[in-house]
């Protein structure tokens, strides 16, 4: 297994990593909701949100490279959906930028989506890179998310790695047979790979399930919850909710 792609660096040790997943989940969701509902012209508030997150990244000792790489996820969507807005938007006055006319309203909309999506993605990175996915699911369960949902998700987490291994093997076999991915008709190969992946994974699932039954599985996995919602957790949640609220009111 050569890929730790889902919750990379969640096994580091830092004050943020040691917090109860419930606190991180509740705190960061509150933080994102406050951020998303902030009017776009409160520039200082957005600076404060970003500052708080950067401090948390520092405390959690996440490598900056990793954080930046994950941040790039939002870029394509901003480019496709919003990058053209300053040139098409109407109203709110306009600036001349050489031969181009830039609308102030369009610029504000672009700033709005770019700032909010960057701050929110950073918050989710902080959550997923400091919390192992199974622990996050246990936290969700404690927060009364339906057990069926978290059970399916925890199985999914386990299977994803197996399937990615399978996929990597198939991909290596495909590439070593001269697949370049440049031609439309090579799409057929992708179809066959996906079909093979489905059949192999389904049959593996049947075997795994039979093995689980043989070992006494009766519908739910038993696990210990090692965290406690203590003073650190209460402090973390109130910081993530009160600091941005204050920044938003002041700015």
Partner 1 sequence: MHIPDGFLNTGVSVVTGVAAAGAVGYGLYKAREELDEKSVPMLALCAAFVFAAQMLNFPIAGGTSGHFLGGALAAVLLGPWLGGLVIALVLLVQCLGFADGGLTALGANIFNMALIGTILAYYFFYGLKSMLPKSRAYFLAAAGVTAWLSVFLASGACAIELAVSGTSPLGVALPAMLGVHALIGMVEAAITVLVIGVVLAVRPDLVGTYDYRPLLADYGEAEVSR
| DSSP per position, 131-184 | S-HHHHHHHHHHTT--HHHHHHHHHHHHHHHHHHHHHHHHHHHHHTTT--S-SG
Q: Hey, CA dihedral for 85, 90, 92, 95, is it positive or negative? A: positive
CA distance 105 to 251: 21
Least Å from the CB of residue 233 to partner 1: 19
Whole-angstrom CA distances from 76 to 79, 213, 233 are 5, 45, 35
Closest CB to partner 1 among residues 2, 231: 2
Least Å from the CB of residue 42 to partner 1: 14
CA-closest candidate to residue 130, choices 141, 122, 142: 122
Closest CB to partner 1 among residues 58, 199: 199
Least Å from the CB of residue 115 to partner 1: 7
Closest CB to partner 1 among residues 37, 176: 37
Least Å from the CB of residue 68 to partner 1: 12
Helix, strand, coil % in the chain, rounded to nearest 5: 70, 5, 25
Closest CB to partner 1 among residues 56, 85: 85
Least Å from the CB of residue 228 to partner 1: 23
Least Å from the CB of residue 35 to partner 1: 8
Q: Hey, CA dihedral for 223, 226, 228, 232, is it positive or negative? A: negative
Query: From start to end of 21-71, where are the E strands?
Result: none
Closest CB to partner 1 among residues 55, 203: 203
Q: At 28, list the tokens.
A: 């960061």
Closest CB to partner 1 among residues 114, 245: 114
Least Å from the CB of residue 21 to partner 1: 11
Closest CB to partner 1 among residues 99, 219: 219
Whole-angstrom CA distances from 185 to 57, 80, 167, 180 are 45, 27, 20, 11
């Amino acid at each position: 297994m050569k890929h730790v792609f889902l919750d990379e660096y969640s096994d580091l040790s830092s004050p943020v990593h040691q917090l109860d997943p419930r606190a991180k989940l509740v705190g960061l969701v509150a933080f994102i909701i406050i951020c998303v509902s902030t009017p776009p012209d409160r520039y200082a508030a957005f600076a404060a949100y970003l500052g708080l997150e950067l401090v948390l990244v520092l405390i959690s000792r996440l490598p900056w490279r990793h954080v930046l790489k994950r941040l790039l996820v939002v870029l394509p969507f901003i480019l496709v959906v919003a990058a053209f807005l300053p040139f098409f938007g109407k109203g709110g006055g306009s600036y001349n930028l050489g031969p181009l006319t830039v609308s102030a309203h369009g610029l504000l909309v672009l700033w709005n989506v770019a700032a909010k999506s960057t701050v929110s993605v950073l918050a989710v990175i902080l959550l997923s890179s400091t919390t192992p996915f199974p622990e996050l699911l246990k936290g969700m369960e404690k927060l009364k998310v339906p057990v069926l949902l978290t059970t399916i998700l925890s199985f999914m987490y386990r299977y994803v790695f197996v399937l990615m291994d399978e996929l990597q093997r198939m991909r290596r076999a495909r590439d070593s047979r001269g697949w370049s991915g440049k031609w439309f008709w090579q799409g057929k190969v992708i179809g066959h790979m996906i079909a093979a992946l489905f059949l192999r994974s389904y049959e593996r699932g049947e075997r795994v399930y039979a093995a689980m039954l043989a070992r006494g599985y009766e519908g739910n996995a038993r696990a210990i919850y090692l965290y406690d919602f203590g003073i650190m957790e209460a402090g973390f949640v109130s910081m993530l909710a009160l600091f941005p609220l204050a920044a938003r009111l002041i700015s």
